[in-house]
């Protein structure tokens, strides 16, 4: 199954852009009459047939469409502080997309070692993961967002902050406090964790303090673990 991403697609006929056309015709060696899938990233999965195998403007015709293809029964927003080594953050972005995530918010915190990202580059990581894992939904990637701004964002679900400050007392274990179908937002801090002031501010705004287990995890590992935990609860 070959999947292409075309956010501007409108059936019944469509022409792939030059990059996708080249990949389809030159790299995959597909020709007229061959079939492929195209998604708009909003849940539509189109089965298409190539009508013109032009390597610069490959034309296709939609044969059938599946709506809300493998739609997740929950909404997951992961707000994660990008790591100093951006490749580690990109690894999280890729894996979270594969597992299932609705939105990814790069989070700027007091202890952040990275305060900028290259949005276009990270979008390409998301898109590649969507295509490789055959997703019909393209997660929304936000710009770098200061924590104080995130606290003002409306969210129709439960909000959690994962941190390592044991002095604050007992924290809830994420898989035990969420239920299938719940919308969830999880905050994962930078390598130096959230500051005490940040934790207090989030709790005052309705966030619940959680742990992801006894092991001390790196930022990108913790973010993937939280994503998998939410997905696992929803598989039960």
pLDDT in tens, the chain (236 residues): 899 999 999 999 999 999 999 999 999 999 999 999 999 999 999 999 999 999 999 999 999 999 999 999 999 999 999 999 999 999 999 999 999 999 999 999 999 999 999 999 999 999 999 999 999 999 999 999 999 999 999 999 999 999 998 888 889 999 999 999 999 999 999 999 999 999 999 999 999 999 999 888 999 999 999 999 999 999 96
Assigned token pair, 160: 């959690």
pLDDT for res 170? 87
- Domain coordinates in residue numbering, the chain: 3-66, 76-233
The reported pLDDT for the residue numbered 140 is 98
The torsion defined by the Cα of 93, 98, 100 and 105, in degrees rounded to 10, comes to: 10
- Per-residue model confidence as pLDDT tens digits over 132-167: 999 999 999 999 999 999 999 999 999 999 999 888
Angle at alpha carbon of residue 209, lines to 208 and 213, rounded to 5° = 130
235: DSSP letter: T
Under CATH, what is the fold of the domain 3-66?
Ribosomal Protein L25; Chain P (2.40.240)
pLDDT attached to residue 236 = 67
Cα–Cα distance, 47 to 155 (Å, whole number): 34
Tokens of 4: 């292409």
- Alpha-helical runs (H) found in 139-218: 147-150, 174-177, 196-204
**Tokens, residue 128:** 């590649």
Quick check: 199 and 161 in contact, CB under 8 A?
A: yes
* pLDDT tens-place string over residues 99-135: 999 999 999 999 999 999 999 999 999 999 999 999 9
Neighbours of 174 (CB within 10 A): 21
Cα distances (Å, whole numbers) of residue 101 to 26, 98, 158, 224: 32, 8, 15, 10
Of the candidates 141, 180, 137, the residue with the CA atom closest to the CA atom of residue 158: 180
Rg (alpha carbons) of the chain, rounded to whole number: 20
The yes/no answer on whether domain 76-233 falls in CATH 3.40.1280.10 is yes
């Amino acid at each position: 199954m070959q999947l292409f991403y075309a956010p501007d697609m409108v059936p019944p006929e469509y022409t792939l852009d030059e990059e996708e056309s080249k990949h389809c015709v030159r790299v995959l060696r597909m020709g007229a009459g061959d079939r492929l899938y195209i998604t708009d990233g909003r849940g539509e999965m189109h089965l298409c047939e190539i009508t013109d195998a032009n390597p610069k403007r490959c034309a296709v015709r939609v044969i059938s469409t599946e709506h809300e293809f493998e739609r997740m029964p929950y909404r997951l927003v992961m707000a994660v502080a990008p790591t100093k080594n951006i490749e580690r953050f990109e690894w999280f972005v890729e894996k979270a997309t594969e597992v299932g995530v609705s939105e990814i918010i790069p989070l700027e915190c007091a202890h952040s070692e990275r305060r900028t990202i290259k949005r276009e580059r990270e979008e390409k990581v998301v898109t590649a993961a969507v295509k490789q894992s055959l997703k019909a939904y393209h997660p929304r990637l936000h710009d770098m967002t200061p924590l104080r701004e995130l606290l003002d964002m409306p969210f129709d679900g439960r909000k959690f902050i994962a941190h390592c400050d044991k002095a604050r007392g007992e924290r809830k274990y994420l898989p035990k406090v969420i239920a299938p179908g719940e919308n969830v937002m999880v905050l994962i801090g930078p390598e130096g964790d959230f500051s005490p002031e940040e934790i207090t501010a989030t709790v005052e705004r309705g966030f619940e303090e959680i742990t992801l287990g006894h092991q001390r995890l790196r930022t990108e590992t913790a973010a993937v673990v939280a994503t998998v935990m939410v997905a696992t609860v929803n598989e039960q």
